[in-house]
Amino acid sequence: MALDKEEMLELYRKMCLIREFEETVSKFFSQGQIPGFVHLYIGEEAVATGVCANLVKQDFIASTHRGHGHGIARGASINKMMAEIFGKVDGYCKGKGGSMHIADVELGFLGANGIVGAGLPLAAGAAFANKYLNNNGVSVCFFGDGASNRATFHEALNLASIWKLPVVFVNENNMYGISMSQERHQNITDIADRAVAYGIPGVSIDGNDVMAVYEATAEAVKRARAGAGPTLIECKTYRHHGHFEGDPTVYRSEDEVNQWKKKDPIPRFGARLLEMKIMTQDEIAAIADEVKREIEEAVAFAQRSPVPAVEELLTDVYCD
Amino acid sequence: MPEMTYSQAINEALREEMRRDDKVFIMGEDVGIFGGCFGVTTGMIDEFGPERVLDTPISETAIMGSAVGAAAAGLRPVPEIMFMDFLAVCLDELVNQAAKMRYMFGGKAKVPLTLRTVLGAGLGAAAQHSQSLEAWICHVPGLKVVMPSTAADAKGLLKSAIRDDNPVVFLEHKMMYAMSGEVPDGDYTIPLGKAEIKRAGKDVTIVATSLMVHKALAAAETLAAEGIEAEVIDPRTLVPFDKETLFQSVEKTGRLVIVHEAVKTGGFGGEIAAMVAEECFDMLDAPIKRVAAPSTPIPFASNLESAFIPNEEKIIEAVKAIL
């Protein structure tokens, strides 16, 4: 399914929105205005954007600790996301979740997750629900290269394969599990190779090419909706920042970071759109202005919002 | 009222809830064709088919995790973990996912699942198939914990658990599956958080859980022959806990013995003792006593296993020590 001009522009705009969101979070975090841990998606925007462009209402995504990009790509409110990250009552979780627990179940966003690899069986379960309800929905699980070493990966892929669940496992291989490089944490180069163990298709693609991500996901989603079961897509990508904000990144070289910055998915897709004459320099500038304004509004919304009332401590533990 | 076993009562509750609500389904190791490791789900696959009675691979993490995902996505899963000991294999899915989703998402998610699992010693199943680990679960806010001691309670509480919008851990004692009892007909439910006085008495309160309720009742009979009237209370659910029934009893008797099969250290008995000490210290006429297993892994040899499990004699001894 080829994308039209508007859809391609939207992919570009969405990646810019994620980037601007994350750079803004980085700025406020370094100023001490955001508590806790934040893990930023800068450099990986093409994955969430290309994947989520294939999803419809009844679909689910399960995300990770590095989840802001997934939420934005799925269409979550950036105001509520920003307010949540600031720990404010108008945030998605009333300030009770924070960066690692932003969720919008109504929107099919089953949440970021503070446990590496926890999303895999959750996504399999949501896919089971879609299949059980026969609503043609699919479920997507984002997870990192580090998570591919967890038992959840094996158990979820095995279960999804035998039950032919409509799920797409999207591995974001950013080459590091916290400080441990892929070559140190596993004895394979392509995580997609692991699909063989479950008798499902596995593809390894350039995760910094939003069109490649879009197309690989389109194929996997089509397969899932048709009842043919899960697919494992490995997207090779890179996080420009450390594992968390404040990570001294002693485990990787400046040179490596610079090499990857040359493959930055946003200018890369921008250049392609210019070349295809789908977008003009003026439009690039206009998109940059537009997302900047949107994020400024989100920050203003977050800053305006009060902190949760102390009584909130004791609510929402159980449903009534 | 028809008489049936604890196992049949659970089977009936599952069937009734599955007939009532097509979003309810069961999943677990060998629950389908095999009918469950203890036969509890026998015949269910014939009535509901493999779409709603799902045999899973030996993958506790996938069972628990996919149940959480399915529940968040709108179904009402009833996963089974074959032995409670195996919860150690999938605690993340229960403790960090199911229990916390509602709170950490600001009240905007529901995880209506009922985890059925099996606890208890007595079968010579040794250290990894016999533990009573309810205290672990009670320690995690967001989960409810149910421990029925009779067939009727098992049915009524399981039906309520399945209808509850929270994650509920439903603990069945393997030595009670064959016990029979009368079970009310029809749509019989028991609210979670309601204790039952299994035997009235005025001299001492014995709070006991699961299989220990029966040992406490036997001890109470023996004590009665000696003129000591023990009141036996079964909390039935540990979370939420019915403090009112317990406190009223302690007010009447002034004496409390707590009995559970779990090891004493860190056991839920400590929590019950603390509740009473904090809130009704003035009502007590004697120190609180706990009868629990010693803090050891569960041994295999029959004589050692018998020595591990709290029994009638130990309960009587504890009662007499504070009279």
Cα–Cα distance for residue pair A316/B101, rounded to 1 Å: 10
Q: Do B66 and A125 touch (CB under 8 A)?
A: yes
Does the beta carbon of A196 lie under 8 angstroms from any beta carbon of chain B?
no
pLDDT score at A1: 59
pLDDT score at B290: 98
Q: Which residues of B82-99 are buried (b: 16+ CB within 10 A; e: fewer)?
A: bbbbbbebbbbbbbbbbb
- pLDDT (tens digit, 9 = 90+) per residue, A59-101? 999 999 999 999 999 999 999 999 999 999 999 999 999 999 9
Q: Which of residues 21-80 of A touch B (CB under 8 A)?
A: 60, 62
Residues in chain B closer than 8 A to A127 (CB atoms): 69
Query: At a CB cut-off of 8 Å and minimum separation 6, what does B263 contact?
Result: B132, B292, B293, B294, B295, B296
Q: Do A122 and B97 touch (CB under 8 A)?
A: yes
Residues in chain B closer than 8 A to A91 (CB atoms): 106
Q: Do B71 and A125 touch (CB under 8 A)?
A: yes
Query: At a CB cut-off of 8 Å and minimum separation 6, what does A292 contact?
Result: A20
Does the beta carbon of A97 lie under 8 angstroms from any beta carbon of chain B?
yes
pLDDT score at B147: 98
Flag whether pLDDT at B84 surpasses 70.
yes
Does the beta carbon of A186 lie under 8 angstroms from any beta carbon of chain B?
no
- pLDDT (tens digit, 9 = 90+) per residue, B125-145? 999 999 999 999 999 999 999
pLDDT score at A2: 81
pLDDT score at A320: 86
Enumerate the domain spans of chain A. 5-301
Name the fold adopted by B196-322.
Rossmann fold (3.40.50)
Flag whether pLDDT at B91 surpasses 90.
yes
Tokens of B101: 């989703």
Three-class secondary structure of residue B184 per DSSP:
coil
Does the beta carbon of A266 lie under 8 angstroms from any beta carbon of chain B?
no
ipTM of the shown complex: 0.97
Determine the residue of chain B that is closest to A108 in CA distance.
Answer: B73
Residue B73 distance to chain A (closest CA, Å): 5
Q: Do B141 and A128 touch (CB under 8 A)?
A: no
Q: How many Cβ contacts (< 8 angstroms) between chains A and B?
A: 144
- The position carrying tokens 């290309």 is A50
Does the beta carbon of A110 lie under 8 angstroms from any beta carbon of chain B?
yes
Low-confidence ranges of chain A (pLDDT < 50): none
> Is B139 one of the catalytic residues?
no
Probe site for chain A from B63, B92, B103, B166 (most A CB atoms < 10 A): B103
Q: Which of residues 137-176 of A touch B (CB under 8 A)?
A: 139, 151-152, 155-156, 158-159, 162-163
Residue type, A16: C
Of the candidates B28, B62, B117, B70, the one whose C-alpha atom is nearest the C-alpha of residue A118 is B62
CA B159 to chain centre: 14
Enumerate the domain spans of chain B. 3-182, 196-322
**Minimal Cβ distance to A121: which of B61, B77, B164:** B61
pLDDT score at B1: 87
Yes or no: say if A28 and A299 are a contact pair by the CB < 8 Å rule: yes
Three-class secondary structure of residue B291 per DSSP:
strand
pLDDT score at B259: 99
Residues B187-214, mean pLDDT to the nearest whole number: 98
B3-182 and B196-322 agree in CATH topology:
yes
Tokens of A189: 């180069």
Yes or no: say if B151 and B179 are a contact pair by the CB < 8 Å rule: yes
Q: Which CATH number among 3.30.2270.10, 3.40.50.970, 3.10.690.10, 3.40.50.20 corresponds to the domain B3-182?
A: 3.40.50.970
Percent of chain B with pLDDT over 90: 99
Q: Do B106 and A94 touch (CB under 8 A)?
A: yes
Q: Which of residues 206-265 of A touch B (CB under 8 A)?
A: none
Q: Look up the CATH number of domain A5-301.
A: 3.40.50.970
Tokens of A280: 């003009």
- pLDDT (tens digit, 9 = 90+) per residue, A158-209? 999 999 999 999 999 999 999 999 999 999 999 999 999 999 999 999 999 9
Residues B285-308, mean pLDDT to the nearest whole number: 98
Q: Which 3-state string (H, E, C) describes A197-237?
A: HHCCCEEEEECCCHHHHHHHHHHHHHHHHCCCCCEEEEEEC
Flag whether pLDDT at B195 surpasses 80.
yes
